[in-house]
Chains A and B, each alone.
Chain A
Amino acid sequence: DQQVKQNSPSLSVQEGRISILNCDYTNSMFDYFLWYKKYPAEGPTFLISISSIKDKNEDGRFTVFLNKSAKHLSLHIVPSQPGDSAVYFCAASADNAGNMLTFGGGTRLMVKP
């Protein structure tokens, strides 16, 4: 039973345009969400997070939106750059401290020059 789902395994975007990566979850106890970026043969690196008390968090080109009623979050990257090409994982936690993360399956983003 996947509690965190990323239904799009891959996404292709033109450089300079917006990339939107989506994530859905089923566990209503989740109250903290994170996005990670992973290059091949490297460990994931933390990108941005959001607590359930907020519906938006912004950091430079990255913005995460949270819709609690829909149990849905999304990561927007604007403008997309070729260096953004990687696998993006969303993760969720139920203790508001980021412990014991449950990961989605990942979405491979390809930004074309």
Chain B
Amino acid sequence: SAVISQKPSRDICQRGTSLTIQCQVDSQVTMMFWYRQQPGQSLTLIATANQGSEATYESGFVIDKFPISRPNLTFSTLTVSNMSPEDSSIYLCSVERRTEAFFGQGTRLTVV
């Protein structure tokens, strides 16, 4: 199994500001994934973060809005930039090992 520590667990932010979410894994993993779950919707993959290279973004997500860092094999950050109320969501980091996926506890973001 993998233990993922994600923080903050929740935050309320003013529109126009930015929030950085951190994920720390208790073991080295090649790929880390960032998801968003908007109210009433399923998990949506934002991007895949590989250590030592730029993140790969899914359609509809861009680096300027969601910059990601992956400085080593156990850590990653996702920044939600220039936030608007539409960014209010739960954000999750995830790692996948063999046949299982493990998720952080999630960050509940509310933009006011």
Contact = CB atoms under 8 A, between A and B. Distances in A.
Given A103-B42, A106-B42, A46 B100 contact: yes
A97 B99 contact: yes
Contact of A98 (B90, B98, B105): B98
Given A43-B103, A43-B106, A89 B96 contact: no
Q: Provide the main secondary structure of the chain B interface.
A: strand
Interface residues of B, number: 23
Given A103-B42, A105-B42, A32 B99 contact: yes
A49 interface: yes
Interface in A66-106: 89, 91, 97-101, 103-106
Contacts of B102: 46
Contacts of A106: 42
A63 B31 CA distance: 29
B43 interface: yes
A105 B103 CA distance: 17
Chain A: number of interface residues, binned into ranges: 20 to 34
Q: Provide the main secondary structure of the chain A interface.
A: loop
A89 B105 contact: no
A45 interface: yes
B108 interface: yes
A49 B103 contact: no
Contacts of A101: 45, 96, 101
B92 interface: yes
Interface string A33-64: 01010000111111001010000000000000
Interface in B34-82: 41-43, 45, 48
10 contacts: A36-B101, A43-B92, A43-B94, A43-B104, A43-B105, A44-B92, A49-B99, A51-B99, A89-B43, A103-B43
